Amino acid sequence: MSYHSFKDDEGHESGSFEVFHSDPWVWGVDGEDREMPAGWYWHACFPGCLPDGDPSGPFETEKEAIDDAQNA
């Protein structure tokens, strides 16, 4: 697991996100369980805080997850 900063078009930090790898798991969304395959994921999150939204992924590599978050 690692934390990174979102950056705007001018390179200013505008929040942070967490990148993590996971084995297959179940994610509860609106009272329904959703199976998530193994892979790299990211979600908006400040260190020590709960995530702000659902995870995005899976991605094959950590770099792909980071690149996707930076382009979100």
Check residue 29 and give its pLDDT: 67
Residue-level pLDDT, tens digit, the chain, 72 residues: 665 666 666 666 667 889 999 999 887 767 788 888 999 999 988 778 888 888 999 999 999 999 999 887
Separation of alpha carbons 39 and 63, rounded Å:
12
State the DSSP code for 7. Answer: E
Please choose, from the candidates 40, 63, 42, 68, the residue with its C-alpha nearest in 3D space to the C-alpha of residue 53. Answer: 42
In this prediction the pTM is 0.75
The angle at the Cα of 50, spanning 68 to 35, to the nearest 5 degrees, equals 60
